[in-house]
Amino acid sequence: MDKFLVKYDFLTLIQEINLDEITNATDRVISDSIDEAVSEAAGYIRHRYDEDIAFKAVQTYTKTATYAVDDRVFWSPDAYDATETYAIGDQVSIDIDTDDSIDERIYIANDSVAAGESPLTTPAKWDLKAENNTFYTCILDTTAGDLPTNDTKFTAGDDREPKLRTVVVDIALYNIHTRITPRNIPEIRQIRYDGMGNKDKSAHAIGWLEKVQKGTITPDLAVKTDDDGDTEQNTERFSYGISPTNNYKYQ
């Protein structure tokens, strides 16, 4: 199921080998941790911002799917496999420099491809299309087969609020560690989550969310609106109590 984060987002804060180790390379663990992190972060912003827009899911691109305006799309085909054969139109990703993930590219077969005929060894059979692990936003409803590189249908770029995305990753990684060793969470994960409990240190996920909640930080998020499309005015949380009884005497 599509989520606000994709696995690739985690790799900005943790190496893939370490992520696979703490999740037992199980997608379900990552998926559940994203749900928990989104739920926690949403609790701080939903009174002021539209959480449905803020946490809109990212869809993994497939050539058989169609996309609507404002859909978030992530293009990352399966890695090229030298033991496989490919047909015209098949998509693969391949790392042309194993020391640098930025060199991963997406290729599409323009001919029947035999086993071992990679985009590097048999380039005439492949068309280079884009960098791997790229985010797009749909700007015009698509039909099946429209590629993200079709600039009349998509625009390249990640439209998620950058800090919110990082905050959700930090919370998700913290939650994953609490499942494994709740009494021995790595210090870096604790610091990035809540500053090791030090409220004076606000450069962490919870500190940032609290500032958003109070309105001292204004992230680039869609503000909640009412049924008429007007910005909601009464967005602060209030504490309500029982007023003392007043006794009035009239002369």
Q: What percent of the chain has pLDDT over 70?
A: 86
- pLDDT, tens digit, 9 for 90 and up, residues 146-176: 999 999 999 999 999 999 999 999 999 999 9
Whole-number average pLDDT of the chain = 88
Q: Residue 226's pLDDT is what?
A: 74
DSSP state of 155: E
Instruction: Assess whether pLDDT exceeds 80 at residue 245.
Output: no
Reported pTM = 0.85
Q: Residue 244's pLDDT is what?
A: 42
Q: Residue 234's pLDDT is what?
A: 44
Instruction: Assess whether pLDDT exceeds 60 at residue 85.
Output: yes
- pLDDT, tens digit, 9 for 90 and up, residues 194-233: 998 766 556 799 999 999 999 999 999 999 987 666 666 5
Instruction: Assess whether pLDDT exceeds 70 at residue 241.
Output: no
Query: Which domains, and CATH codes, for the chain?
Result: 1-71+133-251 (no CATH), 77-131 (2.10.10)
- Dump the DSSP string for 195-247: GGG-TT--SSHHHHHHHHHHTSS--S-PBPB-TTSPBPS--S-----PPPP--
Q: Measured between alpha carbons, how far is 243 from 11 in angstroms, rounded to an integer?
A: 53
Burial class (CB in 10 A: 0-12, 13-18, 19+), 11: middle
Residue 141: count of CB within 10 angstroms of its CB: 12
